[in-house]
């Protein structure tokens, strides 16, 4: 997908996306990354050609739901959200997750996906631990009631500290005023 987006931006050529296309979301992702078409091999072998019909139907449903009239409207749409490593450092704000306790129903999906142990389970709710949150936003994507909001951090140093909190001994300089 990285190469599809790079070729789409650098050259005036049609790009075919491929590898790992199973469901309609995979097709949409490649298109949004700049592909003008995708190939599907393994999934069609495994599930038969009727699977392709199903994927086409799902793409249609997605386009209707989102109001897209043509594939052209989808192609390259993700470009404005693809950043180089330098842009990531300079332009993209670090985030942290915050739980709206009024909305949280305590389903405990979010602590299961948090690899940073940044979500504390309370008796009937959860809360995030800002000092540990990497800002990956996975928790907000699995929450069934959109109770988790991603907020901008005030400064990058706190973000780096959160990424490194488990290994303070390796980066003492980062924590010297703590």
Ligand X SMILES: Cc1cc2nc3c(=O)[nH]c(=O)nc-3n(C[C@H](O)[C@H](O)[C@H](O)COP(=O)(O)O)c2cc1C
Closest CB to ligand SF4 among residues 51, 127? 127
Does 159 sit near ligand SF4 (CB under 6 A)?
A: no
Does 3 sit near ligand X (CB under 6 A)?
A: no
Q: How far apart are CA 145 and CA 115, in angstroms?
A: 21
- Choose among 56, 78, 80, 60: nearest CA to 68: 60
- Choose among 112, 104, 96: nearest CA to 144: 104
Each residue 32-61 as x (binds ligand X by CB under 6 A) or -, in order, gives -------xxxxx-x----------------
Closest CB to ligand X among residues 19, 93? 19
User: How far is the CA of 39 from the CAs of 52, 83, 163, in angstroms?
Assistant: 11, 26, 38
| Region binding ligand SF4 by CB under 6 A among candidate stretches 5-13, 65-73, 115-123, 165-173 | 115-123
Q: How far is the CB of 44 from ligand X (least distance, A)?
A: 7
Q: Tell me which residues in 70-109 interact with ligand SF4 (CB under 6 A).
A: 97, 99, 104-109
For 172, the enclosing helix (H) or strand (E) is none
């Amino acid at each position: 997908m990285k190469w599809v987006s790079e070729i789409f931006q650098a050259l005036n050529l049609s790009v075919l996306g491929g590898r790992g296309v199973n469901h309609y979301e995979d097709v949409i992702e490649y298109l949004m990354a700049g592909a003008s078409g995708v190939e599907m091999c393994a999934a069609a072998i495994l599930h038969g050609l009727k699977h392709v019909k199903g994927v086409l139907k799902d793409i249609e449903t997605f386009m209707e739901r989102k109001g897209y009239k043509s594939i052209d409207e989808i192609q390259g749409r993700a470009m404005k959200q693809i950043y180089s490593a330098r842009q990531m450092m300079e332009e993209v704000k670090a985030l942290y997750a915050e739980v709206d306790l009024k909305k949280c129903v305590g389903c405990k999906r979010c602590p299961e996906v948090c690899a940073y142990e940044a979500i504390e389970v309370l008796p009937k709710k959860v809360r995030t631990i800002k000092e540990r949150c990497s800002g990956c936003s996975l928790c907000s994507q699995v929450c069934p009631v959109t109770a988790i909001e991603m907020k901008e951090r005030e400064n990058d140093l706190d973000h780096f500290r959160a990424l490194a909190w488990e290994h303070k001994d390796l980066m003492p300089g980062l924590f010297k005023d703590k």
